[in-house]
Every structure is written in structure tokens, then in C-alpha cells.
A and B are shown apart, each in its own frame.
Chain A
Amino acid sequence: MAWTRQILRVDLTKGTCTSEALNMEWAMDYLGSRGLATKYLVEEIDPKVDPLSADNKLIMATGPMTGTIASTGGRYTVVTKGPLTGAIACSNSGGYFGAEMKFAGWDMVIFEGKSSKPVYLMIENDKVELRDASHLWGTSTWHTEEQIKKENQDPQIRISSIGKAGENQVLFSCVVNDLHRAAGRSGVGAVMGSKNLKAVAIRGTKGIGNVANPAEFQKVTTEKKQILAENAVTGEGLPTYGTQVLMNVINEMGALPTRNFKDVKFESANDISAEAMATPRETDGKAQLVTNQACFGCTIACGRISKIDKDHFSVQQKPQYHGASGGLEYEAAWALGAANGVKDLEALQYAQMVCNEHGFDPISFGATVGAVMEMYENGTLDEKKIGLKAPFGSAEALCELVEMTANGEGFGVEIGLGSKRLCEKYGQPELSMSVKGQEFPAYDPRGIQGMGLTYATSNRGACHLRSYTVASETLGIPVKTDPLVTEGKPGLVMAFQDATAAFDASGLCIFTSFAWGLGDIQPQIDAACEGDWSEEKLQEVGERIWNMEKLFNLEAGLTKEDDQLPTRLTTEAATEGPAKGLVAGVPEMLPEYYEIRGWDKDGVPSAEKRKSLGL
């Protein structure tokens, strides 16, 4: 079966924890994780709910493959209504926490209401209780993990928590597990903070002993691991360089958004690249990158473990940052670096560590700083207002602003609102590089046209993880398409969106899709789960999830206007590189996308489409 068939409902208002049976009918239609948790959420909350009110719910959910021996089977998803976007929020994380939830016997945990005081949830298999977290409130995710393990005298507990950013309801705060893995986007951490829920701590020793066909499962998962091992991206590129392998590649394409998307190439891209991370520093002769690290069950191991230069200005006399810690991934290195014109690799690593420590999304944070720097340069903001000089390229400003945001001090409070609210407040809404209030990641849609439509239509706001057409437009996976044209992209985006939703719902990592298609995850799911899981069915599950999320957003009050890119990208052409002279062609792609989705001209799924998907 692979599902534990048990879910845990935690009423934070009443302080109760109750077990209930998983709705297996829904499991058959939505598979798990992203799909199943979203189904529960849309059935249980009013889409118009204030995301930070007690009426919102927050769900942590695993998929049927989570906690199995399938490669990358360690993912869990945090689903809620997002405070940054007002849309569905659905953030996925690796590490070890998700598998531990399964081992303890739970497919998902639903949090509802609001606790009157800070609490954390302790799960030891069937024994579940809410415990006082007053002593943890105001502390970092790192301290919270250490303290919970210490006071329970159990180093094997796995923990997911919020830092000060989540407590302060920074609108892009995240939920951090295993020190440096995060359900990173859309402000899911702020929802946890609004409920006075500091952490979830789990020790699971039951394991998963109910896969449907163990012999077949062992055989097929072993075969599929071999495909990952032999693939150039998953077998070599990602383990050696991490996602940072992209920095120079995307820059060469003229698709590396620089200085708040004013430019499409960063002259110092090489200084913040994977290659730079692996090069010994002049100062101490050591490379920043120490090693790679896997999440639970992952045979790719793309994670970066880095050590900062302890003489760097940002960490002098701060020994807590001198040890090895989660290192720079591509999106973070871009947002903290190129998006602000900052080329100091050590400063980027420092900012990354503070984001992990206090729990906020480096993409939204970095991109918001980019908008702040642009407003500083155009005179809208000044040193007095910000509290420091903040021109593009200032590593000092980046490091100070990351601390101010973490601690909720001074101008950091305003950065914590995200770029959309910040730019609106200062009368320059067009400078927020976001869709639905969520900041773009690291691909310029003028140079990679499919990503423009990806950002515009992503149900959780601008995001690269909903349809990573970069794979096709840059790497030729599964087929090579021209990144500079819009023709055929609506269909490509739709196919990626639906397949990604199915991957996410299974509990596997989307990074496997560089080597695997639905046809590769299908036999693994089929061997593990009861029911008949064909490729067509997975395709349909993906499409159903996508439409369900869209319908939630429409009911929440979002419209076609929320599927648009900022005017900079649709009116200001790229100034250099292969995309020179091009703008993002979203306006011409969007009608076609709606049409092939079976949605009307306003992006509303037709009655026929809803019926065919059972929505």
C-alpha cells in the first residue's frame, strides 16, 4: 500500500491530537503529498480565509513513496493558504523529516486553529503530544533542533521548525528541517508562526512494511536508480556541482537576471558559480565547498555543504557560522548575488546561512533586496530610510539587511513584506519582479520564453519548480526546444506542470525528472501502491491537482490579472546576449495556454474540464 492510512489532526486551539483514517478514495485520485494535502485543504478551509488567521490550516504531508527505498523517496510537502500570495501555498522539502513522519505511522499532519502560547508537537510513533515551546520561541531553527534533541535525550529525533522570521510572520518565511532543508516558498513559515507552532519533532520506529509487491518494488527501484546513476545530469552534474552548475550556463544564454532584471547577464557570474565554490580561496587556501550531501534515500546527492571563510567580514567573531553548513544552491546564489549585483561569494554564503538559521526564503529575500537597491539607486529610498547605503553590488548591505530581516529590526521589517508590498508602499509597484506577489527565481523569461509562462501561470506564484521548461529549452530534456521562441511553449508548460504535480504527489524529488519520465516513476508507484497506477492515470492525477489548485485560487479571489508578468519583462527588451531585442512573450502565449487547458478566456476551467477530472 505504501500509505500508512493514518492521519493526525492537531487542533491547536483546543490542544488536542486525534488520529483518523486516511480517505483512501481521495488517495486514489490525488496520490499523496502535494495532491492529497491540497485536497484536504480545499475541502476544509474557506478559500477566502485570511492566511494568518486561526481559520487557515497548515498540512504537512508525505507521499506513498516517502520513506521507501526508491531513490529520493524522502520528500514531504507543507500545504496551506499562502500569506505572500493569497493563493495556494505548497512547498516541498527533502532532508530526513518526511521519511521519519512515515516511519512514525502518519501520512500527514493537519494543524488547525491557533495555540494560545508557543508549542511544539512531539510525535513518537502513536504517542503524540503538544508541548510548551516558550523556551524555544525567539530562537533559531538550529537552536530549536539542538534543544529538542537535548531535552529528550534523543539525537535521532528529526525536527521541522520555524525561526524568528516565521514567528515575526515575515511573508516569505519558511519551514526548515534537518538544519538546512526547507519548505521554502510562499511564506508557509509565517502560517506556522501565526498558529504559535514552533516545531514538529518526530521519532518513528515503525518503518514501512506494507508495500504492495516487495520483490517487484526492490527490483524496479534498483533498475531506476541505475538510470539516475548513468545520466549525465543526475549521475554527474548534480552530485559534483549541485544546481550551481547552471550559473555560467544560464549567464551564457543571456538569461541570468541581473540587478533586479535590468540586465540579462551578470559580468561576475563566474565569481558566484559552482566552479568558484570549488576553487581554493586566496585568503585561507580552502574551497568554500566541503562536500555534497544527499537527502533521505537520494542517490543523486545534489546538496551542498560549505564552510565560509572565517575571516570574512560577515562572520568575524561569530563562531556559530564557522562550521560546515548548508551551502549555496543556484537559485539562492542568484537571488543573493546576481539579482543584487553582489559578487562576494562569502557574503552570499553568510546570507544563505542566516536564511536557514532564522527560516526565510533566500529567493524572495534576495529578489526583494534587488528591488530595494534599485529604489535606492533611483532615489526613492535613501540611507536614512534604509539605515545604510544600499547600492547594487554592496555585499555589506546584503549582509546587514539579512540580519535586519532575520531579527525583525528597522528596515528589515519592510523587507519582510516581500517586494510587491514594499514597492507598492513606495509608489513603484512595477519594480517588484513577481507574480501573485511571489518573486521570480533565476531564469530571465526574455531569454527562456517558457519560463515566462511558467511564472505567470504557476498556482503558487512565480516559481521554477512547477514547470521547469529550462530542462527542455536549455538541456534538451526530454526534447530540445528553442528558448527564444514562444511557439509550442503553452503545450510544453502544460505537460511539465501536470507531470511535475504527479512527481510531487508521489513523494519523490522532481530532480529525478532530468533522467526519469512518468514512465519511470509509474512502475515504482505501481509496485508500491494498491490500485492500478498506469502512466495515463498519473498524468490525469497531475492534471487534476493542477486544476484543483487553480480553482482554489479563483475562489480565493485571484483573476486573470494575477497571471501577468511585470511590465519590465513584457516591454523592456533584453539588451545583450542571444535574447537581445526580445521581451517575454507571455501575452501571446497565455490565451493559447488557457485554451489547451480547457479553460475559458479568463482562465476559468470549463464545466466540461471539471467534470472530466471529477472536480
Chain B
Amino acid sequence: MVYNTKLKATDLGTVKHLVIKIKRYVMQKSLYIDPEKCTGCLQCEMACSFEQTGVFNPSQSRIKVFNFEEEGRKVPYTCTQCDEAWCMQACPVDSIKLDATTGAKVVQDETCVGCKVCTISCPFGTINYVVETGKVAKCDLCGGDPACAKACPTDAITFVDANWTGLDKMRKWAAKANDASL
């Protein structure tokens, strides 16, 4: 615990920084999306909305599947849980908190005032206002066991080691590296 010797207890910024450092010793998982495998069935949206609200309701899902009809491509899209999360930085009432175990940025419904500033600051559009609750909603990784990944029938959405989201792609290319026929 070397950081204690360097820490001034009053230096709040440093404490925040160190908390992030500590969390990095815990293995984290990340949602990994492979659009090529998506069939557009919306099982993920159903599972997400049911987990979050108890209702089968894609309009309340925090993951959305986009269908690019002209190209025949379906793409599931949700929050990437930025480390330097713009939504969290922008929140004027400090209502988006880091879940140190999962790395998720989690909206605190008790204190969210529905000002929507986070929805403007997020570059990806993955945090949105919900009229029915007067709060914002985003992916919280279901506390570390995301329902969307469990429901996906084709493994288009998986929950993998956050440090190795490129592993599958690396394996695919690695397989070619030693293939004399290519």
C-alpha cells in the first residue's frame, strides 16, 4: 500500500485518482460486440428491459440494435463505460458513480435530477432521458452479469476480459499467420 505515504488526505483529486488505480488490480470484464453475428432478433433488448424494469419493453432497453437495411447489417450498440466518462464528469449533482468492481458508470436514481446534461455530453448517445421516470438511464452492466450477453443466441454480444477484447480478432489473424496455403 505504497500510495498512503504519498497521499495528502486533503487532496481530493489525488484520492479519486488512486481509487481508479486500485480498481485496476481487479480483473474486469467488458461487453464485446461482434455485429457480424447479430441477426436482429432483439433478445438483448428484451432481456435488458426486463432486467432493468421488470417489463419486456425494447423502448426501455439500454442496448439498441440498429438495422442498416441497405447493407443487411445489424449492429447492437450500448455504453462502452469510458474510463474518463464524459457523462460522469458533466453531471452537476454527482449522480453518476463508478462501480469499482465492474467498471460501470452507474446512474444514481435517488439523486439524478433529470437535467439531461449527461445526454448532451456523451459522444456516443448511450445515456438517455426516460420520460416515464424523469431520470436518465444507461447500461450498468447489470452489476457484473449483463442480461444482454446471456440472452444473445449467436454470441454477437459477449462479456469478456476487458484487457483482451481483441483476443478473438488476434486469434483469427494468428490462425492465418502460419498457414502455408495463404
Q: Is the Cβ of B57 less than 8 Å from the Cβ of A103?
A: yes
Set of chain A residues within 8 Å of B41, measured between Cβ atoms: 294-299, 301
Q: From residue B44, how far is it (CB to closest CB) to chain A in Å?
A: 10
Q: From residue A66, how far is it (CB to closest CB) to chain B in Å?
A: 10
Cα–Cα, bound, A305→B40 (Å): 12
Partner of A293, one of B40, B60, B70: B40
Q: Is B95 an interface residue (CB 8 A)?
A: no
Query: Size of chain A's interface in residues, with CB distance under 8 A?
Result: 38
Q: Is the Cβ of A307 less than 8 Å from the Cβ of B57?
A: no
Q: Is A478 an interface residue (CB 8 A)?
A: no
Partner of B42, one of A156, A206, A214, A296: A296
Cα–Cα, bound, A225→B153 (Å): 8
Q: Is B58 an interface residue (CB 8 A)?
A: yes
Q: Is the Cβ of B43 less than 8 Å from the Cβ of A299?
A: yes
Q: From residue A194, how far is it (CB to closest CB) to chain B in Å?
A: 30
Set of chain B residues within 8 Å of A323, measured between Cβ atoms: 69-71
Cα–Cα, bound, A381→B45 (Å): 54
Set of chain B residues within 8 Å of A21, measured between Cβ atoms: none
Known A69-B43, A69-B46, A301-B41; contact A293-B56, beta-carbon cutoff 8 A: no
Cα–Cα, bound, A282→B41 (Å): 33
Q: Is A139 an interface residue (CB 8 A)?
A: no
Known A298-B41, A323-B70; contact A69-B151, beta-carbon cutoff 8 A: yes
Partner of A67, one of B39, B56, B154: B56
Contact with A along B64-94 (1 / 0, CB 8 A): 0000011111100000000000000000000
Partner of A229, one of B40, B56, B60, B153: B153
Q: From residue B159, how far is it (CB to closest CB) to chain A in Å?
A: 17
Q: Is B129 an interface residue (CB 8 A)?
A: no
Partner of A294, one of B40, B54, B55, B58: B40
Task: Name the residue in A99, A207, A291 with the highest tally of chain B Cβ atoms < 10 Å from its Cβ.
Answer: A207
Set of chain A residues within 8 Å of B73, measured between Cβ atoms: 291
Contact with B along A293-335 (1 / 0, CB 8 A): 1111111010001110000000000000001110000000000
Cα–Cα, bound, A95→B154 (Å): 18
Q: Is A208 an interface residue (CB 8 A)?
A: yes
Cα–Cα, bound, A103→B154 (Å): 25
Q: Is B47 an interface residue (CB 8 A)?
A: yes
Q: Is A245 an interface residue (CB 8 A)?
A: no
Cα–Cα, bound, A164→B117 (Å): 47
Q: Is the Cβ of B153 less than 8 Å from the Cβ of A69?
A: no
Set of chain B residues within 8 Å of A156, measured between Cβ atoms: 59
Q: Is the Cβ of A292 less than 8 Å from the Cβ of B151?
A: no
Q: Is the Cβ of B39 less than 8 Å from the Cβ of A292?
A: yes
Mostly, the A contact residues are loop
Known A293-B40, A307-B72, A323-B71; contact A69-B57, beta-carbon cutoff 8 A: no
Q: Is A257 an interface residue (CB 8 A)?
A: no
Nearest CB to that of B64 among chain A residues? Answer: A156
Q: Is the Cβ of B57 less than 8 Å from the Cβ of A208?
A: yes
Cα–Cα, bound, A107→B49 (Å): 21
Cα–Cα, bound, A179→B70 (Å): 11
Contact with B along A34-74 (1 / 0, CB 8 A): 00000000000000000000000000000000011101000
Contact with B along A508-531 (1 / 0, CB 8 A): 000000000000000000000000
Q: Is A290 an interface residue (CB 8 A)?
A: yes
Set of chain B residues within 8 Å of A476, measured between Cβ atoms: none
Q: Is the Cβ of A209 less than 8 Å from the Cβ of B72?
A: no
Cα–Cα, bound, A69→B47 (Å): 7
Nearest CB to that of A2 among chain B residues? Answer: B56
Q: Is the Cβ of B151 less than 8 Å from the Cβ of A290?
A: no
Q: From residue B135, how far is it (CB to closest CB) to chain A in Å?
A: 16
Residues of A237-294 contacting chain B, CB below 8 A: 239, 290-294
Cα–Cα, bound, A307→B40 (Å): 18
Task: Name the residue in B46, B49, B74 with the highest tally of chain A Cβ atoms < 10 Å from its Cβ.
Answer: B46
Q: Is the Cβ of A179 less than 8 Å from the Cβ of B69?
A: yes
Cα–Cα, bound, A45→B89 (Å): 63
Cα–Cα, bound, A213→B84 (Å): 41
Q: Is the Cβ of B72 less than 8 Å from the Cβ of A293?
A: yes
Set of chain B residues within 8 Å of A67, measured between Cβ atoms: 56
Contact with B along A207-221 (1 / 0, CB 8 A): 111010010001000
Task: Name the residue in B39, B42, B57, B60 with the highest tally of chain A Cβ atoms < 10 Å from its Cβ.
Answer: B39
Q: Is A204 an interface residue (CB 8 A)?
A: yes
Q: From residue B125, how far is it (CB to closest CB) to chain A in Å?
A: 13
Q: Is B50 an interface residue (CB 8 A)?
A: yes
Known: A68-B46, A295-B41, A305-B72. 7 other contacts (CB 8 A): A67-B56, A69-B47, A103-B57, A103-B58, A206-B55, A225-B153, A297-B46
B residues contacting A by CB (< 8 A) are 39-43, 46-47, 49-50, 53-60, 69-74, 151, 153-154
- Of all A-B residue pairs in the complex, the 8 with the closest CB atoms, nearest first, are A207-B57, A324-B72, A209-B55, A294-B41, A323-B70, A301-B39, A299-B153, A294-B39
